[in-house]
Amino acid sequence: MTTEPDVRVEDKLYQNRYRVDSGRSHIKVTPHETPSPELLALVKLCPARCYELNGKGQVEVAHDGCMECGTCRVLAEGKGDITWTYPRGGYGVLFKFG
């Protein structure tokens, strides 16, 4: 088994341009007691590390660094673990190069 290098995703996202729609998250996690396997998987899978476990073992989302890839929607919207939409026009990630 190869060990993976440590990566600070925050440093990577710092290079990016965003126009954050503060207080209006385009992604919401459905309140839950214990997270589904899909929600738990997102903690590792989201490329911007938007999903985190809180102290009570529930999954929370912070949309600031989201790159709107849609991975979490593909994985977790189907069974209602999250609701997902695009940010308002002009908001969200703004790729300089893409």
Partner 1 sequence: MTEKFDAIVVGAGMAGNAAALTMAKRGLKVLQLERGEYPGSKNVQGAILYANAVEKLIPEFREDAPLERHLVEQRFWMMDDASHTGLHYRSEDFNEERPNRYTIIRSQFDRWFSRHVQEAGALVLCETTVLELLKDTKGRVIGVRTDRRDGDVFADVVVLAEGVNGLLGTRAGLRERPARENVALAVKEMHFLPRETIEARFNLKGDEGAVIEAAGTISRGMAGMGFIYTNRESISIGIGCIVSDLAKTGHAPYELLEAFKRHPSVAPLIEGSEVKEYAAHLIPEGGYKAIPQLFGDGWLVAGDAAQLNNAIHREGSNLALASGQMAGEAVAELKGRGLEPTAKNLEIYKTRLVDSYVMQDLKKYKDMPALLHASSQNFFLTYPQLVSKAMQNFLRVDGTPKVEKEKRTLRSVFAARSITGLLGDAVRMARAWR
Residues that bind partner 1 (CB under 8 A): 2, 4-5, 7, 9, 12-13, 15-16, 19, 38, 41, 44-45, 47-49, 67-71, 73-75, 77-78, 85-90, 92-98
DSSP summary character for residue 26: S
The three-class DSSP label of residue 53 is strand
The three-class DSSP label of residue 56 is coil
Q: 9 vs 57, which CB is nearer to ligand SF4?
A: 9
Q: 23 touches which of ligand SF4, partner 1, none (CB within 5 to 8 A by kind)?
A: none
Amino acid at 66: C
Shortest distance in whole angstroms from residue 59 CB to ligand SF4: 11
Shortest distance in whole angstroms from residue 27 CB to ligand SF4: 6
- Indicate the Cα dihedral angle 94, 78, 57, 67, nearest 10°: -10
